Amino acid sequence: MLAAAGEKFKEERLLLLFLTILFGAGVVFGTLLASGLDEEQRRMLNEELSRFLMQLSQGQSVERESAFWQSFWQHGRWLLLIALMGLAVIGLPVILALNFLKGVLVGFAVGTLAIQHGGKGLVFALLSVLPTNLLSVPAYLAASAAAISFSLFIIRCRLIRRSGSLLPAAAALVGTTAIMLIVLAAASMLDAWLSPALMAWASGWLITG
């Protein structure tokens, strides 16, 4: 029992390391995408960003509760998709793609702001992106590791050896997913209450800069 638990812990630790590297590769790729935009695309993005920053600097109110539920719904859908892909077994490539895509989105957002506004844009990107992602990214990585571990268990113990109980592995996946959902709820709270305040504070000097 202890040996099996140790092997499972080692497997999930290696999966977390691999997924972290994959996410990091996505961040790099997203940054390269941002730097590869042509002048017209950069102009359009800059116009949209300028409008958004102007709204923030003018203190336009944000409905916090609505923003929380919208963010939580987005996080929840992403988490549910990861769990379902793990249960489906054949969804392993999709889980990997989702983690890479998450990195691309973060890298593109940070890269675009840094390219458009230099150091101030980088600071603004960190203020807007970092607080939520400090919770959401580890949650997605942990959920993905649990989902992949479950899929590998199905392949090894149910399809190849045709032995082993499915219930403990399924319970571990469901438990991890439930815990990560709570973490993502906390990330959504940061997204709704903390991030808008930080962005509003930073938007003024970013516009003037």
- 151 pLDDT above the threshold of 70: yes
Per-residue pLDDT of 17-39, as tens digits, reads: 999 999 999 999 999 998 887 77
> For residues 101 and 117, is the Cβ–Cβ distance under 8 A?
no
- 157 pLDDT above the threshold of 80: no
- As a whole number, mean pLDDT of residues 54-77 equals 81
**Contacts of residue 22, Cβ cutoff 8 Å, sequence gap at least 6:** 96, 99, 100, 103
- 85 pLDDT above the threshold of 90: yes
- Token pair of 79, please? 């988490």
Share above pLDDT 90 across residues of the chain, in percent, rounded to a whole number: 45
Q: If you average pLDDT over every residue of the chain, what do you get?
A: 85
Work out how many domains the chain is built from and give that number.
1
Comparing CA positions, the residue from 74, 68, 61 lying closest to residue 189 is: 68
Q: How far apart are CA 171 and CA 125, in angstroms?
A: 38
CA 42, 47, 49, 51: dihedral to nearest 10 degrees? 180
Q: How far is CA 77 from the centre of its chain?
A: 12
Q: Is the dihedral of CA 115, 119, 125, 130 positive or negative?
A: positive
Q: How far apart are CA 205 and CA 209, in angstroms?
A: 6
Q: Match 């691309």 to its residue by tokens.
A: 104
Q: How far is CA 190 from the centre of its chain?
A: 14
- 174 pLDDT above the threshold of 80: yes
pLDDT of residue 165: 73
- As a whole number, mean pLDDT of residues 10-16 equals 87
Q: How far is CA 63 from the centre of its chain?
A: 23
- 2 pLDDT above the threshold of 50: no
For the ranges 95-99, 134-138, 166-170, which has the lowest average pLDDT?
A: 166-170
pLDDT of residue 55: 67
Write out the residue range of the structural domain in which residue 107 sits.
Answer: 2-208
- 168 pLDDT above the threshold of 90: no
- As a whole number, mean pLDDT of residues 186-194 equals 92
Per-residue pLDDT of 105-137, as tens digits, reads: 999 989 988 887 777 778 888 888 888 999 999
| pTM for this model (two decimals) | 0.87
> For residues 64 and 192, is the Cβ–Cβ distance under 8 A?
yes
Q: Match 């949209």 to its residue by tokens.
A: 48
In the chain, the amino acid numbered 198 is L
